[in-house]
Structure 1
Amino acid sequence: MSTADTLSKRRAKPAQEASVGAALPDLELKKAPSQQRAVETYERILAACAELLGEVGIERLSTNLVCQRAGISPPALYQYFPNKYAILHELGMRLMTVQNELLTPWAVPATFMLPEPAFAGSVAELFLQTMELTAHMPAGVWVTRALRAVPSLQHVRNRSHDFVTDMLLLPFMDAHPRANRAQARLTIRLAIDALYAAQELLFDDPSLDPQAVAATMAEMVAGQMMRLRRG
């Protein structure tokens, strides 16, 4: 099963879970487009939202602005999305899926058997690749910020990080079956969050050197992973 398939199956639950005890916006699609014309309209909505997000920011973004930019009427938008947060949710799911797909060739036992310097180098390279991919995705940086700043969207990032943790844990344990599984899972989960936070910092502070940040974070992660190997 692909990353996209797995994450898509998790779309419905988070909105329901997040709404318990709180008046959070509905994130579920009203319906999925089926006909070609409907798909084109759906994609125009997403593209317009991505463009506007970088221009006006999260707070000023509205469905009316999206409709104007996409050249459609509000009823056409509301066929698919109940509010602007549902559009951001879809953009976030797409970004997380594409980011996670970078891991597929990396997440193998051979990676976790590399000596520390080589492993750190591979982590740094993956870090920079993820940054570049995000920067080139439509509104990728702003979608990243939305996943952090908007309470109803935070589950997208959290569930994606949980998925990646399990994705990396399996090849690590295959490579090092004597390692403490619970500690390995915790270490990998914390490493993913730390690397993601470092990328957000680079997006927020362009004065920092991405190469230096990548190398420093990779060395920190590699050091922890080596400790796990030694048991």
Structure 2
Amino acid sequence: MLKKPLQERAVKTRNLFLDTAGQLLAEVGFDKLTTNLICERAGLTPPALYHYFSNKYEVVEELGNRLSAEQDVIIYKWMQTQDAFPFPPVQIAALLNALHEHSLKQPNAERIYATLRGMKQTRDNPLFTMQNVSKSCAEWLSKILPEIDPELIIIRVRIVIQAMFGVHTMLLENPEMDAEKTNEETAEMLGAFIGNLTNK
């Protein structure tokens, strides 16, 4: 992906392409999405789009990156509020609910996630690997539990993050499910899994 712009006007143009692509993704699907269609809807020229993205795969990948970055902020803020271990399930459920509510407010989040899962070009996307947030969470947890093997902590944290994302996308794809109840059950499971670290 090309370098992100720094000037305000360029940032607005880039975001316009992203917002437009997100809308079109919901309307026509990924297969029918083209860079020309994005430009036509945005009222800009293809050269302008190619200044920021090489192809439609990069556009959709960046949509995922943008969603992922916003979700990471929610997780980091939650971490700052936790001062006791093990973490109470009610606190974990609050985090899961916050992540879910955030995605519900984002246009076409479900379609973006679904598209990304089917794109081989995005297998290194933080949306899938969660490497950045997993590393930060593991470092934070290692400070709370300095006596625990850091390698074990990172393994558990990555499992937890992936499980959280799995439940998160399941709820988006199945709006008939009771999100709060599902998150409560998930929190009980994840809380026990992480809490068990002190028994190792």
- SS in structure 1 at match of 2:77: coil
- Tell me the equivalent position of 1:92: 64
- 2:86 is the counterpart of 1:111: no
Aligned equivalent of 1:13: none
Deviation of 1:42 after TM superposition, in Å, equals: 2.1
Give the deviation of 1:208 after TM superposition: 1.2
Contact 2:110 2:173 in 1 (8 A): no
How far apart, in 1, do the equivalents of 2:144 and 2:6 lie?
44
Matched, 1:168 2:154: no
Matches within 5 A, 1:141-152: 141-152=110-121
Q: Aligned partners of 2:7, 2:185: CA distance in 1, in Å?
A: 49
Please say if residues 146 and 153 of structure 1, whose CA atoms lie closer than 8 Å, have aligned partners that are also in contact. no
Among 41, 48, 61, the alignment partner of 1:76 is: 48
TM-score of the superposition, structure 1-length normalised? Answer: 0.78
Count of aligned residue pairs for this structure pair = 200
Q: Distance in 2 between matches of 1:163 and 1:60?
A: 32
Aligned counterparts of 1:77 and 1:171: Cα–Cα separation in 2: 39
Q: 1:136 corresponds to which residue?
A: 105
| The 10-residue stretch of structure 1 (174-183 or 200-209) with the greater mean CA deviation from structure 2 | 174-183
Match of 2:153 among 184, 196, 220: 184
Q: What is the aligned counterpart of 2:162 among 187, 193, 207? A: 193
Instruction: Give the share of equivalent positions with the same residue, in percent.
Output: 29
Q: 1:199/1:35 Cα in 2 relative to 1: closer, same or farther (>3 Å)?
A: closer
> SS at the partner of 1:105?
helix
Q: TM-score, normalised by structure 2?
A: 0.89
- Confirm or deny: 8 A CA contact 1:107 1:167 kept in the other structure: no
Is there any run of 5+ residues in structure 2 with no aligned partner, and where?
none
Q: Is the 8 A contact 1:91 1:143 kept in 2?
A: yes
Give, in angstroms, the shift of residue 179 of structure 1: 2.1
Deviations 1:52-99 (A, max 9, x none): 111122222111211111012222222322111111122121111111
